[in-house]
């Protein structure tokens, strides 16, 4: 019974086995051939990202500040906020925020560490034209209030 399933191809069987093994070897070679460029590309991308991040840290200024002043006027009322961010490498001290009114509307932040943000609300009944921020480190930045884009169906549009 076993003889009927045993195919004896004679001298051709060695050639077929060789071709089969050669084909399997070529598949493995192709896989390895594709794997090597992919691995090299992945390593190159990782190195490029790490280099970019390290260079942005190296070239960052010691003292830098970013201000986002926003006012949103609606039908019955208006809201305003000022976000102050320390985008430098060192902490900022004695930050004075002037909302554009008299000196009684000024606010003070004693310390703002690097990478930190503070959200401030201007006092009521002052003109929301611009905000000025000064620090002990000699930074003085003035920004105009911006208004958000009104989308249909949103509150205040």
- One domain for residues 69 and 130: yes
Task: Tell me, yes or no, whether 107 lies in a domain.
Answer: yes
Task: Tell me, yes or no, whether 24 lies in a domain.
Answer: yes
Mean pLDDT over the full length of the chain: 78
List Cβ neighbours of 151 (8 Å cut-off, separation of 6 or more).
157
- One domain for residues 112 and 75: yes
- What the block records as the tokens of 73 is 């006027």
Task: Tell me, yes or no, whether 154 lies in a domain.
Answer: no
- One domain for residues 79 and 137: yes
Task: Tell me, yes or no, whether 99 lies in a domain.
Answer: yes
| Cα separation, 23 vs 44, whole angstroms | 32
- One domain for residues 40 and 74: no
Structural domain containing residue 36: 9-58
Cα separation values, 36 from 23, 73, 151, Å:
20, 58, 50
Q: What is the pLDDT of residue 62?
A: 84
Task: Tell me, yes or no, whether 153 lies in a domain.
Answer: no
Nearest to 85 by CA among 51, 60, 48: 60
| Cα separation, 57 vs 46, whole angstroms | 17
- What the block records as the tokens of 47 is 């190195």
What's the structural domain count of the chain? Answer: 2
pTM over 0.75: no
Query: Can you say how many angstroms the Cα of residue 28 is from the centroid of all Cα atoms in its chain?
Result: 40
pLDDT digits (tens, 9 = 90+) for 63-112: 999 999 998 877 777 788 999 999 888 999 999 998 876 666 788 999 99
């Amino acid at each position: 019974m076993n003889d009927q399933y045993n195919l004896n191809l004679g001298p051709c069987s060695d050639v077929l086995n060789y071709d089969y093994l050669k084909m399997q070897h070529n598949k493995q070679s192709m896989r390895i051939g594709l794997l090597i460029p992919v691995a090299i590309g992945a390593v190159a991308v990782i190195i490029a990202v790490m280099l970019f991040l390290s260079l942005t840290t190296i070239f960052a200024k010691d003292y830098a500040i970013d201000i986002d002043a926003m006012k949103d006027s609606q039908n019955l009322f208006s809201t305003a906020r000022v976000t102050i961010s320390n985008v430098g490498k060192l902490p900022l001290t004695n930050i004075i925020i002037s909302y554009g009114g008299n000196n009684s509307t000024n606010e003070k932040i004693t310390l703002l560490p690097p990478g930190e943000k503070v959200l401030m609300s201007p006092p009521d009944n002052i003109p929301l034209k611009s905000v000025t921020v000064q620090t002990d480190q000699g930074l003085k930045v003035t920004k105009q209030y911006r208004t958000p884009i009104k989308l249909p169906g949103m509150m205040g549009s």
